[in-house]
Amino acid sequence: MHEIADEHLLANILANNDELAKHNREHFDAENIFAVNFMSAPGAGKTTLLSHLIPHFQKVYHPAVIEGDMVGNLDAERLAVTGAPVFQISTGRSCHLDAQMIARVLHGNDIHNQNNHKPSILFIENVGNLVCPAEFPLGEHRRIVLLSVTEGDDKPLKYPVIFHNADAVVFSKCDLLNHVDFDLENASQYVKNLNANCSVFALSTKQEGSLQPFATWLEQSIEKHQLSKGEYTNVHSHTR
Amino acid sequence: MPTEASICKIQIGEFRNVDPDSLAFAFDALKSNDPQTQNCQLEIKMISAEAICQSNHHSYHPAEANFYACTICGDGIGKLISGQELEIASIIMETVQIETMDETRKA
Ligand SMILES: Nc1nc2c(ncn2[C@@H]2O[C@H](COP(=O)(O)OP(=O)(O)OP(=O)(O)O)[C@@H](O)[C@H]2O)c(=O)[nH]1
Ligand SMILES: [Mg+2]
Ligand SMILES: [Zn+2]
Ligand SMILES: [Zn+2]
């Protein structure tokens, strides 16, 4: 004899990560830290962009950085020279950061008090990958995806999930536009098709002035966030 | 009384980076070591994406063939109303009553 029980669960398979992401968000908000998650394919220019953004934000926001890499601390060393506190996460075999890794940094380090300055912005550099980082929210306030012009303007169509989930997309290495067939208009259109609310920027770290619109957008995002604090929407939650 | 899982139903939305074959492979590898799950069948249901376009609130299926734009007006996704699922919909458990020696003798 046997009995059958059909248990209707609708349990979120990544619930552990999503709960920890929410927990990280509570840490950030309690400490007045605005957290920004930078994602891209390997080599699109995340570390280089951060090395230019940090000095820009230094005076007012005292940025801190969490550097995610599979192996080594090369990027962390590159950013440490800016004077910003940099926390390295070596993910080992994992091709993305997850909320647990961020929680460990938040619990194990006094990131809230560096050189007598409280950071009010935290840059998180994810592992170079356009697939898995989209699946693991970290508790960040904004998600940025970089797409360098050498990668091709069709990439939003091939990696729709990460572009749909982005708050802003940055087309990087625009100094190289003359050497490649990258149509900025097409690329922007694809991104807007995937997410009409996404902001789009084109810049080059070789042309310092080109970073300004993106830096301004970040500053405005911090201001907006301070007005709407406490609201937490998971990247996947609007489906339900 | 021992119970074991016989069917596990999972839903994966089109706008999640989850490959059903890889998930099934991992599921089979994990279940085999546990008497409560070793006979469990995985049923995966793919959920297609449905978007609401930003300006005109049309409901449409965002597809690569149309560059993910609204098939009616060409506008972009305002929000997704389905396609981001990644969940266990249900698990069917069976309670197996093992026949004891006594019962066998009675029969
Ligand atoms: N021409 C040009 N090269 C750039 C620009 N930004 C970055 N690069 C170069 O691109 C290469 C990769 O840059 P990184 O900043 O290391 O890229 P990343 O995204 O941090 O790379 P990973 O962390 O390994 O994924 C380096 O050789 C940079 O010098 C740019 O605006 N223009
Ligand atoms: Mg880097
Ligand atoms: Zn904590
Ligand atoms: Zn429409």
Q: What is the pLDDT of residue A238?
A: 43
pLDDT by 10-residue block (mean), chain A, 240 residues = 69 93 96 97 98 96 95 94 94 94 92 78 97 97 98 98 98 98 98 98 97 98 86 58
The DSSP line for A67-102 is: EEESS-SHHHHHHHTTT--EEEEE-TT-SS--HHHH
Ligand 1 atom nearest to A69, measured from its CA: 23
**B29 & B56 share domain:** no
Q: How far is Cα of residue A115 from the mean position of the Cα atoms in its chain?
A: 25
Q: What is the pLDDT of residue A11?
A: 86
**B28 & B73 share domain:** no
* Nearest by Cα to A205 from A58, A83, A6, A53: A53
Q: What is the pLDDT of residue A2?
A: 60
Q: How far is Cα of residue B45 from the mean position of the Cα atoms in its chain?
A: 5
**B57 & B69 share domain:** yes
Q: Please compute the mean of the pLDDT values over residues B83-100 and round it to a whole number.
A: 86
SS3 A12: strand
Q: What is the pLDDT of residue B2?
A: 79
Mutate one of B1, B16, B52 to test the A interface: name it (highest A CB count within 10 A): B16
Round to the nearest angstrom and report the end-to-end CA distance of chain B: 20
Rounded mean pLDDT of chain B? Answer: 91
- Residue A28 pairs in a beta bridge with none
Report the separation in Å between the CA atom of B72 and the middle of ligand 4, taken as the mean of its atom positions: 5
Say if residue B3's pLDDT is above 90.
Answer: no
DSSP state of A186: H
Q: What is the pLDDT of residue A127?
A: 97
Could you tell me where the DSSP H helices lie in chain A?
Answer: 15-30, 46-61, 74-80, 99-108, 155-158, 160-164, 184-194, 212-227
The torsion region of residue A173 among left (phi > 0), alpha (psi -120 to 50) and beta comes to: left
Nearest CA to ligand 1 atom 32: A173
**B24 & B2 share domain:** yes
**B19 & B43 share domain:** yes
Ligand 1 atom nearest to A176, measured from its CA: 1
B54: domain range? 49-81
Residues of B whose CB is below 8 A from A196: 53-55, 75-78
**B89 & B42 share domain:** yes
Q: What is the pLDDT of residue A114?
A: 65
Lowest mean pLDDT among A202-216, A221-235, B34-48, B81-95: A221-235
**B90 & B71 share domain:** no
**B40 & B3 share domain:** yes
Residues of chain B with a CB closer than 8 angstroms to some CB in chain A = 6, 10, 13, 15-18, 53-55, 62, 64, 67-69, 75-97
pLDDT digits (tens, 9 = 90+) for B52-75: 999 999 999 999 999 999 999 999
Mutate one of A2, A16, A98, A233 to test the B interface: name it (highest B CB count within 10 A): A2
SS3 B52: strand
Nearest CA to ligand 1 atom 25: A42
**B21 & B58 share domain:** no
Task: Count up the domains in chain B and report the number.
Answer: 2
Per-residue pLDDT band for B107 (boundaries 50, 70, 90) equals very low
CATH number at residue B31: 3.30.2320.50
| Residue B94 CB burial class (10 angstroms; 0-12, 13-18, ≥19) | middle
Q: How far is it, in rounded angstroms, from Cα A209 to Cα A202?
A: 11
Ligand 1 atom nearest to A203, measured from its CA: 31
**B17 & B32 share domain:** yes
**B35 & B67 share domain:** no
**B65 & B91 share domain:** no
Report the separation in Å between the CA atom of A25 and the middle of ligand 1, taken as the mean of its atom positions: 29
Per-residue pLDDT band for B105 (boundaries 50, 70, 90) equals low
Q: How far is it, in rounded angstroms, from Cα B76 to Cα B71?
A: 10
